Amino acid sequence: GYGAPLYRELIESGLGTDFTPNTGYDTSGRKAVFSVGLNGVTEENVPKVKQVVAETLRETIKKGLDQHKVEGLLRQLELGLKHKTANFGMNLIQRIKPQWFNGIDPFDALQWNSIIESFKAEYAKEGYLEALLEKYLANDDTLTFTMTPSKDYDADLAAEEATRLQSKIQEVVSKFSSEADAYKHLRERELELLEEQQSDQRAGIDALPTLHVSDVPRQQPKIEIRDSELEGKTKVQWRETATNGLTYFRALAMFKDLPDELRMLVPLFCDALMRIGTKEKSMEELEDLMKLKTGGLSFGYHSTASPFDTQHVQEGLAFTGRALDRNVPAMYELLQTLLLETDFDSSKAHKMIKQLLQSGASGAVDGIASSGHGFAMKYANAGLSPVGRFGEQTGGLTQIKMITSLAAAEDNPEAMAELVGKLKSIQGIVVEIMRLQGVRAALTCGADVATSNEEALNTFIRSTSAANLSAPQHTAASPSQTQHYPPTGRTFFDLPYQVSYSSLAVPMQPYVDPTSAPLTILSQLLTHKHLLHEIREKGGAYGAGASTRTVTGSFNFFSYRDPNPENTLKIVENAGRWASERDWTDKEMEEAKLSVFQSLDAPVSVSAEGMTRFLTGVDGEMEQKRREQLLDVSREDVRAAAEGLQRDVQEKGNFVLLGRKKEFVKPGEGWREEDMGMSGKPEEVEAEAAAAA
């Protein structure tokens, strides 16, 4: 957390911008490894990192660990065990696997209560944890490694690959009497590979046991949900079930006509709520209270299209929390404190916001590289519907570009003051919404605590409704101020990756439209029978496929870490034609439906039951009707969907490509080129991108 000694000394001090991904305690090997890594360290400060880590550990041993923090972590372990998740079994196996592989009886590892009690008994002895730090960490038995950017990385890599290729060729040539015979052998091997790729790879698969569509229940299990209204304005959805003594709370404060410039800052606003603190308490103190009293609090941006109309959108601020039933009032009190009392005017607020910006900007390039196809998909969808535009502004390339730009202007006092003013405006808007129109809330809890939970929620609503926060005002944006994205065509982002990421999006009808179901089945058929084969196996991409966003209303193609994007573009632009001309077998149709229901009927965590209805408006009746439509999709339906998809791709397709510029990307041939603003330090950007890719 933000109050951790290493965070204060390494990041809050400005020595680095963020921890590296390998930071933490790794128990997967026979010997556990504790690692501390730092991103964004200047060259002259590299030697200081190890020194600061060692000094911080020494100081922590000397002062001792805060008892409240230890108790908070123990409480989190307790809540984690009570939290019922759909993947409980897999999580359990993952937890005991390292110890099991290293010779520890797995049943011993499952004795969690006895392990905790044993720890508490040892912890009661003075200096127990400090002695462990002294024994295992306060020494020089360490490994230090440093990664630095190289401006010659691309040239060095190309030269190494060329040398390695020539070496492989010479190795083959040495085994034949002449170079011509060697090249003939290589061509024959390539033809054998091509023949293998094009052959029926299902040999022997039909002999394996399999599920059938007839095994899929036609009736969807019903979840009992009730609705109520509190204080005349707050609508509450109740899911009463066995929760192991936990209460789950979610709420949405719905925005109306929020300007683009404020919408794009909502993610930063949410981060700031969990970073700045209040006039009375620091964030470290609030974190300690959250760990002692709750299983976690969070804030985030939410938007969804209507299941009846993809052009109708709702957006708002989402805030969530979970706690033991007895601690629900404390959970609400903490949520109220963070929402209403976060002190954007404090002397530390500017510094902490700068740290959030630096952390976000430092990982921008590798953040895109880790899921570039997702970013391409978001941008491709931005021009299709309002919810697509909102998603791009708050979680896409537009968001990353804005954070990078704000981080670059962090030393400009006027710019920072303006930014803080906008964050305060968002805070004021949220408080005004809660005061005047209330929120939509959802509670998941045991039936025996529903009454006490309703009383606690009523108290929370009355308290927040009485708040009157003074904040700078912003007027609704006019249409001319609205940010627009291309609805069709081809857009290219020049980014320093050796491979490409792409997406082609076309609009679909809304969730309730019967044409949506055949397109969902078609997406699975295209993925497994065409796109993976052509783009991954033949084209060399790491991944490729098609998917439908049924509520948002879009059909999406994508490729991931793709060395041949020109080939991918040709394949996806003609995928609908390929599918319409194919004679789909009953077996293929069955496999596609089973693939859809694999995710549709996957186990759901208790905390997630009823959340589709709450967040999107898709109720059980709509889900049941769509379920029947999916089960009833025929080959003729798929063929008609493929023909319609091909027309839409030609007329409404929106293609987005991220990566190095290729020869086929020509502005005169319908391409738009966008700048991410990451060209300030090319050698650092390219080295970071290479490490990420």
Mean pLDDT of the chain: 90
Q: Quick check: 455 pLDDT over 60?
A: yes
For 622-665, the pLDDT digits (tens) are 999 999 999 999 999 999 999 999 999 999 999 999 999 999 99
Q: Quick check: 87 pLDDT over 90?
A: no
CATH architecture of the domain formed by 488-692: 2-Layer Sandwich (3.30)
pTM of the model: 0.89
Average pLDDT on 420-447 reads 93
For residues 414 and 577, is the Cβ–Cβ distance under 8 A? no
Percent of the chain's residues with pLDDT above 90: 65
Confidence of residue 605 (pLDDT cuts 50, 70, 90): very high
Q: Would you state the pLDDT for residue 364? A: 79
Helix, strand, coil % over all residues of the chain, rounded to 5: 55, 15, 30
Confidence of residue 610 (pLDDT cuts 50, 70, 90): very high
| HEC readout, 229-295 | EECCCEEEEEEECCCCCEEEEEEEEECCCCCHHHHCCHHHHHHHHCCCCECCCCHHHHHHHHHHHCC
Q: Would you state the pLDDT for residue 200? A: 60
Q: How far apart are CA 112 and CA 118, in angstroms?
A: 10
Confidence of residue 205 (pLDDT cuts 50, 70, 90): low
Q: Would you state the pLDDT for residue 207? A: 62
Exposed, middle or buried, 243 (CB in 10 Å: 0-12/13-18/19+)?
Answer: buried
Q: How far apart are CA 417 and CA 415, in angstroms?
A: 5
Reference 434, options 229, 251, 617, 263; nearest CA is 251
Q: How far apart are CA 211 and CA 594, in angstroms?
A: 8
Amino acid (1-letter code) at residue 104: I
Q: Among the listed ranges 40-49, 554-563, 619-628, which one has the minimum average pLDDT value?
A: 40-49
Q: Would you state the pLDDT for residue 90? A: 86
Select, from the ranges 143-147, 351-355, 562-566, the one with the highest average predicted confidence (pLDDT): 562-566
Helices (H) and strands (E) in the chain, counts: 28, 16
For 460-497, the pLDDT digits (tens) are 999 988 877 665 666 555 554 678 899 999 999 999 88
Q: Quick check: 175 pLDDT over 80?
A: yes
For 357-395, the pLDDT digits (tens) are 988 888 777 789 889 999 999 999 999 999 999 999 999
Average pLDDT on 494-510 reads 95
Average pLDDT on 599-621 reads 95
Q: Would you state the pLDDT for residue 140? A: 86
**What is the fold of 5-136?**
Cytochrome Bc1 Complex; Chain A, domain 1 (3.30.830)
Q: Would you state the pLDDT for residue 591? A: 94
Q: Among the listed ranges 305-314, 335-344, 681-690, which one has the minimum average pLDDT value?
A: 681-690
Q: Quick check: 684 pLDDT over 80?
A: no
Which CATH number is 226-473 given? 3.30.830.10
Every domain range in the chain assigned CATH 3.30.830.10: 5-136, 226-473, 488-692
Q: Quick check: 687 pLDDT over 50?
A: no
